[in-house]
C-alpha cells in the first residue's frame, strides 16, 4: 500500500473550469507529478495535509482521476486546501501527503449534487485527519524541509 504518499510540485493552471466560482478552488499539479503516482494509487477522492511554499500545513482533499463530471480526457491531481487564502498561489510549490481514501470518482447529475458531495468529502477529511495516527503526519519533516 502506497499511503501515506508524499509529493510536491509547482502549482500550474488548470482548465479554468470555474472551481473557484463554486467556492472550491483546486490547485493542479503538473503532469510530471501525476505521472509519478504509484500504480496502486487508484483514482478517486483522497484526504491529507498540504502546505504552500514554506507556509502552514492545512487539511486538504484531493481528486485524482479523469473528472467524469467534466468529461475530462486527461488524468489530473487537484488539491483543495481547506483554508481561505488571501491570494492565488500559481507557480508556488505545493507539498502534500495523501493520507486516506474517501470514495471513487463519479459523475453527478447537477452542479448542486457535485458541490454537496465535495462538501461532505471536506467534512469527512476534517474528521479523519483528527485521528492521532493521521494528525501526526501534519508535523512530518517533509513539510519543514522545503527549500
Ligand atoms: P484552475 O483551473 O487554474 O485550477 P481553480 O478555479 O481551480 O482554477 O483555482 C485554483 C487556484 O486557486 C489554485 O491554483 C490556487 O492558486 C488558488 N487557490 C486559492 N485558494 C485555494 C485553496 N484553498 N485551495 C486550492 N487552491 C486555491
Ligand atoms: Mg483547479
Is 87 a known active-site residue?
no
Ligand 1 atom showing the smallest separation from residue 79 Cα:
25
User: Which residue minimizes the CA distance to atom 17 of ligand 1?
Assistant: 88
All domains in the chain, ordered by first residue:
5-141 (2.40.30.30)
- 58 Cβ below 6 A of ligand 1: no
On the question of pLDDT at 105 being above 90, the answer is no
Average the pLDDT over 52-64 and give the result.
Answer: 97
* Ligand 1 binding pocket mutation candidate from 14, 20, 92 (most atoms within 8 A of CB): 20
- Residue 93 half-sphere exposure, CB side, CA atoms within 13 Å? 13
User: Which residue minimizes the CA distance to atom 20 of ligand 1?
Assistant: 85
62-65 contacts, C-beta under 8 A, 24 or more apart: 62/96, 62/98, 63/26, 63/105, 64/37, 64/105, 65/105
Confidence band for 16, pLDDT divided at 50, 70 and 90: low
Confidence band for 6, pLDDT divided at 50, 70 and 90: very high
- What angle is formed at CA 104 by the lines to CA 103 and CA 109, rounded to 5 degrees? 100
ipTM over 0.90: yes
Average the pLDDT over 22-27 and give the result.
Answer: 92
Amino acid at each position: 500500500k502506497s499511503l501515506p504518499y508524499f509529493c510536491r510540485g509547482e502549482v500550474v493552471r488548470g482548465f479554468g473550469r470555474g472551481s473557484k466560482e463554486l467556492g472550491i478552488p483546486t490547485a493542479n499539479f503538473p503532469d510530471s507529478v501525476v505521472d509519478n503516482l504509484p500504480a496502486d494509487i487508484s483514482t478517486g477522492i483522497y484526504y491529507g495535509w498540504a502546505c504552500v511554499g514554506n507556509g502552514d500545513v492545512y487539511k486538504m482533499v484531493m481528486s485524482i482521476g479523469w473528472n467524469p463530471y467534466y468529461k475530462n480526457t486527461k488524468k489530473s491531481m487537484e488539491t483543495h486546501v481547506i483554508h481561505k487564502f488571501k491570494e492565488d498561489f500559481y507557480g508556488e510549490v505545493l507539498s502534500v501527503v495523501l493520507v486516506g481514501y474517501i470514495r471513487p470518482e463519479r459523475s453527478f447529475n447537477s452542479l448542486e449534487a457535485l458541490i454537496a458531495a465535495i462538501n461532505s468529502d471536506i467534512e469527512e477529511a476534517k474528521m479523519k485527519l483528527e485521528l492521532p495516527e493521521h494528525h501526526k503526519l501534519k508535523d512530518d519533516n517533509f513539510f519543514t524541509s522545503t527549500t
